[in-house]
Every structure is written in structure tokens, then in C-alpha cells.
Structure 1
Amino acid sequence: MRLEQYEAAIKEKKNEMIKLGMSKGLQNEETIYCSQELDKLLNEYNRLLLDDKHSNPLNPYVDLFTIFTTHVHRILSIPYGSFFI
């Protein structure tokens, strides 16, 4: 399943659980089972997110360098006279 499919399934299962909880109560077997199914979906979704992040690891040094140079360029582009206003 893809992330979008998991998001749709999670939303649907969450709505189902809310309806069951409102109509049958939070301690009802059906509500608890539905909650467990929602937990499984959420765990799979989170696992998929982590796998996706690890497949494209970021290089923190490159990112830090990019941020640093961007800010240095912004600072250097400020007109000199504006510091004293």
C-alpha cells in the first residue's frame, strides 16, 4: 500500500471507530477490535514513512552549509545604512 492509501484507510477506520464508540460504547468488543485495526494501520503507515526517510538519507553537512550560505548572502545583501536606522 502507498502512503495515500494508508491515509485514506486510516481516516475511514478512525471514522468507523468513532461511530462504534458513540453508538456501542468504548468498552464494546467491536470498538476495541476496530481500535486495534486502526493501531495496525497507523503502525504500518509509520513504518512506511520511516522506510521512505531512510531510503533517501539527508546529508546534514550539505543541508547546514546551504542554510548557512543562504543566511550569509541575506546578511551581506542588506544595505549598510539600514543597520543604523
Structure 2
Amino acid sequence: MTELARPESDFSDLSDLDSSDAADRIRARGERVRRRELDTALARLRDRGEVTPAQRRVLAALADRLTDALVERWASKLADGEVDPETALSLLAE
């Protein structure tokens, strides 16, 4: 597992982070949250009955779009210099 993929490394040692590194960490965090929430939603649906492949695809597409919209908003703020890396990462910590 890479350093960026390890949950405990997301928001530790924020010194000397540039915007690109921070954006990578935000994207990795977003992906983990997307997977976790999608798994939770699918499990809840399975508890209520069978989940069709079409339903799985719709939920996965929705999760992807929501995650992309949120993550890229923060990544663009970093790239534009609207927010510093430490602030962006601290706001997205669990």
C-alpha cells in the first residue's frame, strides 16, 4: 500500500506539503470514503432484499459523481491557491 493510500498518513506530517501532494492525499481519502459509503449503501439495500446489477451500477455511478465533485472542488482550490494544503487537509480529516 502506498503512503498516500494509508489512512493514517493522510493528515499526519503536514509540514512541507505542496498543493499537488495535498490534492493527491485528498483524492486518496475521497476514494476510501467513496468505497466505504458505497459498501454501506449496498449492504443496507441487500438487507431489504436483492440488489440488481442495474441498481449496483446506478449506486456506483452516483458515488463516483458525488465523490469527484467534492474532491475536485478542494483540489482546484488548492491549485488556485485559494486554500493552503494544511487547511484543506485539516478540514477533511475524520
Relative to the length of structure 2, the TM-score reads: 0.36
With normalisation by structure 1, the TM-score equals 0.39
Judging by fraction of residues, say which structure has more helix: 1
Larger RCO (CA within 8 A; separation ≥ 6):
2
